[in-house]
Amino acid sequence: MNYWILKSEPNVYAYDDLVKQGTGTWDGVRNYTARNNLRNMQVGDLALFYHSNIGKEVVGVARIVKEAFPDPTTEDNRWLAVEVVAEKKLEKPVTLAQLKADGSVNHIGLVKQSRLSVIPIEKSDFDYILKLSQQ
């Protein structure tokens, strides 16, 4: 069981879009590091859903329901996609500013490597961010 952060620009694909669709395909990843992370996902893994650019906040939790398969949006078989469902919307989004101000999770990829769209995260950090959303 692993934990992740998935990043998306909400004007392209927002958490509410996933809620509406039920099951969403996480495709379009064109970065090898992110692709390798996708490949390591297992059914049942949980991911924080982060809105980049607009909002800059963690808004919900998604659950992986289908492991990596060839990305349907390209003929190029180097790229992979997974399927996810909306697990839970956060009562209160946790903003990047909040995480930075808090300081406890400065080591995570979201803060350190802002360009990566699929980021592995420790369970303790995952839980910590969820806890912040309940305060």
Partner DNA sequence: GCCAACGTTGGC
Stretch binding DNA (CB under 7 A), from 19-27, 64-72, 81-89, 109-117:
109-117
By CB under 7 A, is residue 130 in contact with DNA? no
Residue with tokens 């069981």: 1
* Beta strands at 3-8 and 46-51: parallel, antiparallel or unpaired: parallel
By CB under 7 A, is residue 117 in contact with DNA? yes
**Binding residue for DNA, selected from 7, 41, 68, 133, defined by CB under 7 A:** 7
CB 93 within 8 A of CB 57: yes
Report the nearest approach of DNA to the CB of residue 129 (Å): 14
By CB under 7 A, is residue 107 in contact with DNA? no
Instruction: Give the single-character DSSP code of 73.
Output: T
By CB under 7 A, is residue 98 in contact with DNA? no
**Binding residue for DNA, selected from 36, 104, 113, 124, defined by CB under 7 A:** 113
Is 121 in a helix, a strand, or coil? strand
* Beta strands at 80-95 and 46-51: parallel, antiparallel or unpaired: unpaired
Please list the residues that pair with 7 across neighbouring strands.
Answer: 50
- Binding positions for DNA, rule: CB under 7 A: 7, 9, 31-33, 52-53, 56, 96-97, 100, 112-117
